[in-house]
Structure 1
Amino acid sequence: MSGDEEKYLLDNQQPEAGRRFEALSALFDPSTFRHVEALGIRPGWRCWEVGAGGPSVPGWLARQVGPEGHVVATDIDVSWLTSGAERPAYEVRQHDVGKDEPPGEGFDLVHARLVLVHVTARERALEAMVRSLRPGGHLLLEEADPQLQPKVCPDEHGPEQRLANKLKDGFRALMAQRGVDLAYGRTLPRLLREAGLADVEADSYSPLTGPECVRLERATVEQIRGSLLNAGLATEEEIDEHLRNVDSQQLDLATSPMVSAWGRLAVGPGA
């Protein structure tokens, strides 16, 4: 992810980060890949994966563009991008999208997922991504919008669901304290238009239950346990009880809606 590391609640150096990356990939990669395919990705494209986190998206992009194309994967912490046994088929650069210049120009595709909400200098980051596109190139941004659906258990029919939602409220309070805009996802179409992009469209996707939702919830709660305790937002007993409830797989655990918005840098007037 990108943004100020000292403010980032979900530190990539924590052991739970890998489990979160795996769950997020299983939940949202199919939707991301569907959008990229609709944009017409093909061999030879140059792509920038911003705040890549793990290897699943840049690896897939590299397979689509082939040896004649090129994929640059950037992040503040690149450890999860380079930890595999095989050398990745994409270029890895340590990079802060809110501070550093783009790692190139003339990209056919720039993609960022769950990145900009964590970046303090969001406007500068968005401007840099647009500036890096070639005329006719595509920008695809994907951000969660917790306020569109604020409960992890929308069907709050018992104490187990109420406890889950209490902990989720605490998690979101911690994120807001660190400058995360919990309603950012819905603004993406407008921001892309204001940035001068053409053919702007958007949709949203929110899994409601399933094994990967369970994996994501457990990894996230384990990762923020100390922060919840330190802020007085939950007790050890409440966290342990919630994790037991999660493991029972009797909770329908929803994700925040993932808003995907995409647009094209126009070639010229009227293009």
Structure 2
Amino acid sequence: MRTASLADLEVRREVYLAAALDTFSIARLAGLPHLTGTRCLDLGPAGSAVPVWLRDRVGADGEVVTAAGDPLPPAVLAPGRYGLIRARLLLMRVPRPEALLRRLVAALGPGGTLVVEDWHMWPADAVLSAPSPRDAELVERCLRLLIEKVLPGTGTDPTWATRAHAAARAAGLTTVDTQIHVPVWAAGDPGALLLAVDLVRHRHQFLAAGVRPAEVDRARQLVADPGSGLVLRGHPLYSTSGPAPPW
């Protein structure tokens, strides 16, 4: 991956996220009944095909509102406004996810559905195959630094997803269902390319943590080159959903 501007890296990240996650997210939403005419709120990184898919399903009588992050304007989360709210990789990135979850539930109309999707990220046993033990150790070390130090330093909680089910119940959803999607990413796959982007975006943090410049470059090559032979266990995506009370 050539040296790129921060804006270019953000665009790449959005493209890779969409390619890695949209198929599962759309399949999850496809199981919901009665989307025609529904007012929907879609929250999360830009670039996803899900809002387009939703607009096709809700039809001319429905509406799809999109927003990319928190804080959200009060009008966006007006009480009782939506029949469906979907938030992807948002709650794990905010300081008080339980509080935002309660606001999302409050913004549902009677019987409206909330779907929240976040990664549970942990570094152990993430490398399924590597060209050498030395390469496996390097990638595992970079993943550990990313998950345990770099991302928490940006305000991301890699473990939030494991609390989402209980938090959704506490927020008032009448029935809560969680499905977990665990992908496998070969080098060059969109999920693996997300790590390549992180190695560029946070290069200074990796260097400050003791990873040598040549090691950062080698790790980036291993995850980005489809011929490297690297295979990763991707981050499990927890999809937690449930309906609001019928009131």
TM-score interval (norm. to shorter): 0.7 to 0.9
Is 1:146 the equivalent of 2:117? no
Alignment partner of 2:164 out of 188, 206, 222: 188
More displaced 10-residue stretch of structure 1: 14-23 or 111-120? 14-23
Q: C-alpha displacement at 1:47, in angstroms?
A: 0.4
Q: Report the secondary structure of 1:209's partner residue.
A: strand
Alignment partner of 1:167 out of 139, 142, 148: 142
CA contact (8 A) 2:6 2:201 kept: no
Deviation digits for residues 12-41 of structure 1, max 9, x if unmatched?
953112222222211211111111111225
Tell me the amino acid that sits aligned with residue 101 of structure 2. Answer: L
CA contact (8 A) 2:174 2:245 kept: yes
Alignment partner of 2:13 out of 8, 13, 20: 20
Q: 5+ residue gaps in structure 1?
A: 1-11, 77-94
What is residue 209 of structure 2 aligned with on the other side? 232
Tell me the amino acid that sits aligned with residue 50 of structure 2. Answer: V
Deviation digits for residues 161-202 of structure 1, max 9, x if unmatched?
110111111111111233322211111111111011012110
CA contact (8 A) 2:14 2:45 kept: no
Q: C-alpha displacement at 1:221, in angstroms?
A: 1.9
Alignment partner of 2:233 out of 241, 254, 259: 254
* CA RMSD in angstroms, aligned pairs only: 2.1
- Divergent runs of 4+, >6 A: none
Tell me the amino acid that sits aligned with residue 55 of structure 2. Answer: A
Alignment of 1:1-271 (within 5 A): 14-76=7-69, 96-97=71-72, 100-103=73-76, 104=78, 105-147=80-122, 150-155=124-129, 158-172=133-147, 173-210=149-186, 211-229=189-207, 231-246=208-223, 247=225, 248-268=227-247
Tell me the amino acid that sits aligned with residue 232 of structure 1. Answer: A
Q: 5+ residue gaps in structure 2?
A: none
Q: Percent identity?
A: 24
CA contact (8 A) 1:101 1:128 kept: no
CA contact (8 A) 1:139 1:262 kept: yes
Distance of 2:154 and 2:45 partners within structure 1: 21
Q: 1:258 to 1:233 in 2, by over 3 A?
A: farther
Q: 1:15 to 1:41 in 2, by over 3 A?
A: farther
Q: C-alpha displacement at 1:239, in angstroms?
A: 0.7
Q: Report the secondary structure of 1:266's partner residue.
A: coil
Normalised to the residue count of structure 1, the TM-score between the two structures is: 0.79
Distance of 2:71 and 2:184 partners within structure 1: 33
Q: Report the secondary structure of 2:235's partner residue.
A: coil
Distance of 1:31 and 1:258 partners within structure 2: 9
More displaced 10-residue stretch of structure 1: 17-26 or 133-142? 17-26
Normalised to the residue count of structure 2, the TM-score between the two structures is: 0.86
CA contact (8 A) 2:102 2:171 kept: yes
- Equivalenced residue count is 235
Distance of 2:32 and 2:166 partners within structure 1: 19
Q: C-alpha displacement at 1:154, in angstroms?
A: 4.0
More displaced 10-residue stretch of structure 1: 234-243 or 136-145? 234-243
CA contact (8 A) 2:84 2:114 kept: yes
Deviation digits for residues 237-261 of structure 1, max 9, x if unmatched?
1111112223133100232111111
